[in-house]
């Protein structure tokens, strides 16, 4: 049972435009969410996170939106750059645990 899902396995975006990556979850106990970026032959790198008490968190070109009622979060990258081309994972966890559940990943390709 996949508790965290990223339904788009891949996404192509033109350089300078907005990239929107989506993530859905089923477990209402999740209260902290993270986005990671992964290049080939490297481990995932943390990008941005959001607590369930917020609905938006922004860090430079990256913004994460959380819709708790829909159990949905999204990562917006504006403007997209070729160096953003990577696999993006969302992850979710519950306070009081060490368990992070990762989504299946979305491969983003930013075209120059």
Partner 1 sequence: DTEVTQTPKHLVMGMTNKKSLKCEQHMGHRAMYWYKQKAKKPPELMFVYSYEKLSINESVPSRFSPECPNSSLLNLHLHALQPEDSALYLCASSLVSTSGSSFGNEQFFGPGTRLTVL
* 49-51-54 Cα angle (round to 5): 110
Beta bridge partners of residue 66, listed in sequence order? 73
Pairing of strands 106-111, 10-14: parallel
Q: Which is nearer to partner 1, 80 or 88 (CB)?
A: 88
Q: Which is nearer to partner 1, 8 or 94 (CB)?
A: 94
List the interface residues with partner 1, window 14-73 (CB under 8 A). 31-32, 34, 36, 41-46, 49, 51
**Residues forming the site for partner 1 (CB under 8 A):** 4, 31-32, 34, 36, 41-46, 49, 51, 89, 93-105
């Amino acid at each position: 049972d996949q508790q965290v899902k990223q339904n788009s396995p891949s996404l192509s975006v033109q350089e300078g435009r907005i990239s929107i990556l989506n993530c859905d979850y089923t477990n209402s106990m999740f209260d902290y969410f993270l986005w990671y970026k992964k290049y080939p032959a490297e481990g995932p790198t943390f990008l941005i996170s959001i607590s369930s008490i917020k609905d938006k968190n922004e860090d430079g070109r990256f913004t994460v939106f959380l819709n708790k009622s829909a159990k949905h979060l999204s990562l917006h990258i504006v403007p997209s750059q070729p160096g953003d081309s990577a696999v993006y994972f969302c992850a979710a966890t519950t306070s009081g645990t060490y368990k992070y559940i990762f989504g299946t990943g979305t491969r983003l390709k930013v075209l120059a």
